[in-house]
Amino acid sequence: MKIEKNTVVRFHYDLYDQADGKKIETSKEGDPVAFLFGHNNVIKGLEEAMVDKNAGDAFDVEVPPYKGYGLRHDNSTQRVPLKHLVIDKKAKLKPGMVVNIQTDRGQKQATVIKAGKFNVDVDTNHPFAGKMLKFAVEVIDVREATAEEVAHGHAHGVGGHQH
Ligand code: ZN
């Protein structure tokens, strides 16, 4: 079946930084990503490129920042108490490491600049902000979403939300 609103799509991807052609992320070390299509669960550029595709389709898509992770902002350094970080307590924080921070509006990704004893200085730009990205996508399968998935706004099962 074709990808359209309220289908659950499973796909694999390799993600490249267009500036230097380097691969910066891949889904292929684990299960395919599963998401409910048409509910803003993936970045806009990726969702747009998937419309009407079928299981087995493989394609490349270029995603500019405004359809991806946004522009990079200056002055976005913040000092955050360590307790607001969502990490394994034993993990050693290093500059350049990407961490999740608990905020009033949910979790947010940031990059560690400097770690102290009680606080950590982070850059709150998304690590992929400002980048021209290229996704190499392979659609694994497409199915109709269940009523429950549509009500929740996300896919269930392997690669999706696990309640
Ligand atoms: Zn759910």
Q: Determine the pLDDT at residue 90.
A: 72
pTM here is: 0.79
CA of 41 to the centre of ligand 1 (A): 13
Tokens of 102: 């608990």
- Chain centre distance of CA 85: 18
CA of 36 to the centre of ligand 1 (A): 10
CA of 136 to the centre of ligand 1 (A): 28
β-sheet bridge partners, residue 109: 100
User: Quick check: helix, strand or coil at residue 81?
Assistant: strand
Q: Determine the pLDDT at residue 103.
A: 84
CA of 157 to the centre of ligand 1 (A): 9
CA of 153 to the centre of ligand 1 (A): 7
Q: State pLDDT tens for residues 142-162.
A: 999 999 999 999 999 988 888
Q: Check residues 89 and 54 and name the one with the higher pLDDT.
A: 54
CA of 100 to the centre of ligand 1 (A): 21
Report the percent of the chain where pLDDT is more than 90: 72
Average pLDDT, integer, range 43-56: 96
Beta strands in the chain (DSSP E): 7-17, 23-26, 33-36, 58-63, 77-81, 98-103, 106-115, 119-123, 133-144
> Identity (one letter) of the amino acid at 20?
D
Q: Determine the pLDDT at residue 98.
A: 87
Residues contacting residue 119 through CB under 8 Å, at least 6 positions apart:
79, 80, 81, 82
**Chain position carrying tokens 């606080």:** 119
Q: Determine the pLDDT at residue 86.
A: 86
